[in-house]
Amino acid sequence: MVVNTPPLGISLFKTWGENISQKVVCDAADAAEKLGLGKAGYEYIIIGDAWCKKTRDKNGELVEDREKFPDGLKFVSDHLHSKGFKLGIVTSVGAATPNGYPGSYDREFVDAKTFGRLGVDYISHVFCHVPAKGGFFMPLRSMSMALKHSGRDIFYAVNFDYDGAQKHIYYAGYTWEGIDLKEFEQDHYAIEKWIRSTGVHSYCTKELEKPFDPQLGDNIQGYTGTGCWHSLGDIVHCCCCDDALNALKTKMITCAMKISPIIIDTDVTKLCDKAVEVMTNSAVISMLKDEESRSSAKQGDGNTFVLTRLLCDRKYAIAFVNDSDEAASVPFYGYDFGLTYNCGLTCKACEVMGDEKLEFADYVSVDVPARSARLFEMVME
């Protein structure tokens, strides 16, 4: 499976949890189609881990919960496909999923065949309930190989807490994996290097319950690239008040600049027009899907900083981010971007989710509200 740009999707995992059902999923797909999310680029609908029963059958295979899904998961998958979407599920690297359903530890090939038979197109492989000596990279390699032999193209996402994974690696002592544990004493890069080798398409380095962090992975920016992306985590959107809409906008901007998959956990049937407008912003999605997929560069330290990205067609993206609790004026220095003072060029930038226009040669400062971001698309003349 070749994936050139990060995916967009809708998750029902946190919003519905164990209350997921055939009706909930089909209604979400119907609503998403009517709202134009599919046409905007949202590809996956991820239903979580509660689609199966909490015990396997006598052959060790996962069993669909026919009370929640009376027509079976293949029916749901076919319905999603008819609406232009693909089906995603959550499973576990370990023996159990976050909600206590059977995990895929040491059953990767068995489960991958089930996923393929049921029409699954995306799995979120969560690192939880893993035996102390259960390994870290080998289960990922096994799942990657199993998915390749499932009979379907399945996007492979992994979620693990970096600190917890590092401790697990130290504790288990994986000499049999041929890994030099000294590499992991440095930073995220060593784990990113090994993750990439497993065949994973995207990976998130924070626990599921930790809040979205716009600065997550700053120390590995530039190491990931086409085919494997560092995810900032799912974006939870639960209401349409001004604060929630601003948070949604900020998180989407950060994902687009850091080339993180955009997965929004929400009740699609209750989305307001303003939320849909933010979610389907064509400029933001275009930046995420930019075919060169170049990593962003960060200017500034602390909670106020600027992210810049080189895009195709001689375009540039600049995001002014304020991750503090107070409004701030965030400076941008053209020289740090490669724009020398004597080059004779002028930068003209238009705000993507607003009306402001900027024109500058070497320096500009932008006012940004607390816990917010402002995104500009720039050309040089």
3-state secondary structure of 330: strand
Q: What are phi and psi of 128, to 5 degrees?
A: -150, 155
pLDDT tens, position by position, 157-192: 999 987 777 777 666 554 444 555 555 555 556 677
Tell me which amino acid residue 372 is. Answer: S
* Annotation: CATH topology of 297-380: Immunoglobulin-like (2.60.40)
Q: Number of helices (H) and strands (E) in the chain: give both, helices first.
A: 12, 17
Parse the chain into domains and list their residue ranges. Answer: 8-233, 297-380
Domain 8-233, CATH class in plain words: alpha beta
What DSSP designation does 225 have? B
- In this prediction, residue 175 carries a pLDDT of 45
The Cα–Cα gap between 181 and 178 comes to: 9
What does the pLDDT read at residue 344? 79
Residues in the chain: 381
**The whole model's pTM is what?**
0.92
| Per-residue confidence (pLDDT) for residue 154, from 0 to 100 | 98
Q: Which residue has the tokens 């293949």?
A: 74
The pLDDT tens digits for 293-342 are 888 889 987 899 999 999 988 889 999 999 999 999 999 988 888 877 77
CA pair distance 377, 381, nearest whole angstrom: 13
Strands laid side by side in the 155-159 sheet:
229-231, 202-204, 155-159, 120-126, 86-92, 42-46, 8-11, 262-265, 235-236
pLDDT < 50 stretches in the chain: 174-177
Please tell me the predicted confidence (pLDDT) of residue 14. 94
